[in-house]
Amino acid sequence: MHVVVGTSLFQILFTCINVTFMQAYVNHTVDFLLALLLLVGSTLGAQIGARISRKLKADQLKILLASIVLVVMLKMLVDLLMRPSVLLSLKGGH
C-alpha cells in the first residue's frame, strides 16, 4: 500500500507539471506566486504525510486513501448537480 500511494503521487506530479506549463504557455493564466505557495505547501505536506504513513498499517492507509477519494468525489458531484445560483449563494457571491 505504501508503494501505491507513492506511485500515485509520482504520476500526479507529471500531470500537474504538464498542465501548469500548458496553461502558462497557452492561456497565460498561471499565477506564479500561488504556484510557489502550493509548491511549498505540497512539499511540507508530503513530508508530514510520509511520516504519518510510516506509522499506519496498510489497511489503515487504504481506508484513508479511499475516504479522501470519496470526499473529493462527493464534492465534485455536489458541484455538478447544484444550480449555479445556489453555489454562488453558498460561497457568498451575489
Q: What is the pLDDT of residues 36-78, one digit of tens each?
A: 888 888 888 888 888 888 888 888 888 988 999 999 999 999 8
Task: Tell me the C-alpha to C-alpha distance, in Å, between residue 6 and each of 13, 14, 53, 65, 85.
Answer: 11, 13, 10, 12, 39
Single pTM value for the model: 0.51
Give the C-alpha distances (Å, rounded to integers) separating 82 from 73, 75, 87, 94.
Answer: 14, 11, 7, 16
Give the Cα separation of 42 and 28 in Å (integer).
Answer: 23
